[in-house]
A and B are shown apart, each in its own frame.
Chain A
Amino acid sequence: MQYFIQQLINGLTLGSIYGLIAIGYTMVYGIIGMINFAHGDIFMIGAFIALIVFLALTSLFYSVPVVIALLIMMIVAMLMTSLYNWTIEKVAYRPLRGSFRLAPLITAIGMSIALSNFVQVTQGPRNKPIPQMVSRVYEIGGISISLKQIIIVVVTAVLLTLFWYLVNKTSLGRAQRACEQDRKMAALLGIDVDRTISITFIMGASLAAVAGTLFLMYYGVVSFSDGFVPGVKAFTAAVLGGIGSLPGAVLGGLLIGFIESMWSAYFSIDYKDVAAFSILAIVLIFLPSGILGRPEVEKV
């Protein structure tokens, strides 16, 4: 039982990171109907920027409180990845809006390769480690919870709450949902659709940057290829939860996290990725639109 709870906690930690990334996939899909394959690389770039900020901070100051360091890392990573994603949307995707469906998809795959190669060339192909930032571990009834895990879950919960509020209760969120449901009508009501789409890319990038920072803090290492596997898993999470659905992205992320940690704990660590994807395949056979996705039929 203790072991099980331990795995649950590990799964929750992983799942939080996947969930944060998955939101970017699902929001972009919701608003322009395209899978932004470069999103995993945006996450990786977020982790790299956090790394660079960390190195800068530790070389500039004798000691920086960890909370402050993490906060600065996150904020700078959010700003920079937002700039990246905003530019990518404007330069690579917007001109293709309204062309055939596969065009933006192919461009996104190209963007993904370009970004990871760019990081490989500028930062080098090797793993980049940082020293342990947070090392405290709490033992409660035989279960160990690290402070890192607590930070990840708390930061994710706070962000998701803010994000939920933004999407459901503000005029910006309403405009986003309107563009998602009927872009032309939104424009007839005075909504600047291009701007709303840009903001969606910025929001997705910000959450991915936080996920990247948390990833770096948790594993203490990042490499140029780290966008791929977490990116694909987060995408899987988004599909599993129902692409286009925000709660679905979070739920899917948590599920993938749980499946992965349970599988590694009880079966074999080697096949953990296969397990996650097999579950996806099975779910999609029975629930083609994902767990919380809406079925295609709709009045109107």
Chain B
Amino acid sequence: MAGKALLDIKGVETYYGNIRALNGVDVSVDEGEIVALIGANGAGKSTLMMTIFGTPRARSGSIVFNGTDITQMPTHEIARLRIAQSPEGRRIFPRMTVMENLQMGASLDNLKYYDEDVEKVFHLFPRLKERIGQRGGTLSGGEQQMLSIGRALMARPKLLLLDEPSLGLAPLIVKQIFDAIRELNRTQGLTVFLVEQNAFGALKLATRGYVMVNGNVTMSGSGAELLANPEIRAAYLEGGRH
């Protein structure tokens, strides 16, 4: 693989009360990679994304980011190491404007690079520029998705976590977002770890992929390998969006 592991997840178990949602997950993401995580509903993908941020906390195992053990680190300190997430459900601040939501994304640097970075976000999602003064809660689902990704980018992340970036978006916008991710990866070396229902698109975009079933990683390989795998084709691709 290219470079050293930026994110190294080893043997992570996460519980909701007494119910185990992750059963010893091993995942690693190298610097400069795009890694996709696919799996059925309820497999534990979003749980893994949130466990990286310590909410919920892993009950056992370890999560190392850029050489620092973050398994027990407070959530906001993990964010300050420049991991950004566009989480499941988008979590836009509903009573803040689009601009304020983006400013929240830039709070790590106290808006130092806000003007410069917001132009890049508007370049990716011109629609957000038109909606700059609108309250987040009144945006359409797709607009909220763009805002959520834009807000994550405003943090100047080393590692970008995206939980179903294509959810609820028109195919043309999905293509734009995937193109944008590829572009950020290529030009700025941004490392991306994404969860997708759109397995075909995600595996085509990704350098590598993991497949999660019932809280376990059952398969991994390069995007092309997984795409060619008959089991995966049957479970996640046939009849899906191509």
Q: Which residues of A contact B (CB under 8 A)?
A: 171, 174-175, 177-178, 181-182, 184-193, 294, 298-300
Interface size bucket, B side? 20 to 34
**B242 interface contact, C-beta 8 A:** no
- Given A188-B85, A189-B107, CB of A300 within 8 Å of CB of B94: yes
- Given A174-B100, A184-B55, A299-B94, CB of A192 within 8 Å of CB of B76: yes
- Report chain A residues within 8 Å CB of B93: 177-178, 181-182, 185
- Given A181, A182, A190, which contacts B76 in the complex, CB threshold below 8 Å? A190
- Given A177, A184, A299, which contacts B96 in the complex, CB threshold below 8 Å? A177
List the 5 closest pairs (A to B, CB-CB), nearest first: A190-B79, A187-B75, A185-B91, A300-B94, A181-B93
B76 and A193: CB pair below 8 A? yes
Most buried by B among A177, A178, A185, A294: A185
**A-contact 0/1 string along B33-74, CB 8 Å cutoff:** 000000000000000000001010000000000000000001
Main SS of the interface on chain A?
helix
- Report chain B residues within 8 Å CB of A193: 76
- Report chain B residues within 8 Å CB of A300: 92, 94, 136-137, 144
User: Considering the chains assembled together, what is the distance between the CA atoms of A187 and B93 in angstroms?
Assistant: 13
- Given A184, A189, A192, A294, which contacts B104 in the complex, CB threshold below 8 Å? A189
Seed contacts A187-B55, A187-B75, A188-B75; 20 additional CB < 8 Å A-B pairs: A171-B103, A175-B107, A177-B93, A178-B93, A181-B93, A181-B94, A181-B96, A185-B87, A186-B104, A189-B79, A189-B105, A189-B155, A190-B76, A190-B80, A191-B76, A193-B76, A298-B94, A298-B137, A300-B92, A300-B94
A171 and B111: CB pair below 8 A? yes
**B108 interface contact, C-beta 8 A:** yes
Closest residue to B96 on the A side, CB-wise? A177
Closest residue to A294 on the B side, CB-wise? B95
Closest residue to A190 on the B side, CB-wise? B79
B77 shortest CB reach to chain A, Å: 8
Closest residue to B54 on the A side, CB-wise? A187
- Report chain A residues within 8 Å CB of B155: 189-190
A178 and B80: CB pair below 8 A? no
User: Considering the chains assembled together, what is the distance between the CA atoms of A184 and B84 in angstroms?
Assistant: 13
Closest residue to A299 on the B side, CB-wise? B137
Find residues 5-38 in chain B having any chain A CB closer than 8 Å to their own CB. Answer: none
- Report chain A residues within 8 Å CB of B76: 187, 189-193
- Report chain A residues within 8 Å CB of B208: none
A13 shortest CB reach to chain B, Å: 32
Closest residue to A185 on the B side, CB-wise? B91
- Report chain A residues within 8 Å CB of B85: 188
A255 shortest CB reach to chain B, Å: 24
**B176 interface contact, C-beta 8 A:** no
- Report chain A residues within 8 Å CB of B100: 174, 177
26 A–B pairs (Cβ distance < 8 Å), ordered by A: A171-B107, A171-B110, A171-B111, A174-B96, A174-B104, A175-B104, A177-B95, A177-B96, A177-B100, A181-B95, A185-B93, A187-B76, A187-B79, A188-B84, A189-B79, A189-B84, A189-B105, A189-B108, A189-B151, A190-B80, A190-B107, A191-B107, A192-B74, A192-B76, A298-B94, A299-B94
B91 and A184: CB pair below 8 A? yes
- Report chain B residues within 8 Å CB of A175: 104, 107
**B218 interface contact, C-beta 8 A:** no
- Report chain B residues within 8 Å CB of A178: 93, 96, 104
- Report chain A residues within 8 Å CB of B137: 298-300
User: Considering the chains assembled together, what is the distance between the CA atoms of A192 and B75 in angstroms?
Assistant: 8
Closest residue to B101 on the A side, CB-wise? A178
User: Considering the chains assembled together, what is the distance between the CA atoms of A185 and B94 in angstroms?
Assistant: 12
- Report chain B residues within 8 Å CB of A171: 103, 107, 110-111
**A-contact 0/1 string along B120-157, CB 8 Å cutoff:** 00000000000000001110000010000001000100
B127 shortest CB reach to chain A, Å: 18
- Report chain B residues within 8 Å CB of A294: 95
Most buried by B among A177, A178, A294: A178
User: Considering the chains assembled together, what is the distance between the CA atoms of A190 and B106 in angstroms?
Assistant: 10
B134 shortest CB reach to chain A, Å: 12
- Given A181-B94, A298-B94, CB of A188 within 8 Å of CB of B79: yes
User: Considering the chains assembled together, what is the distance between the CA atoms of A300 and B104 in angstroms?
Assistant: 18
- Report chain B residues within 8 Å CB of A184: 55, 75, 91
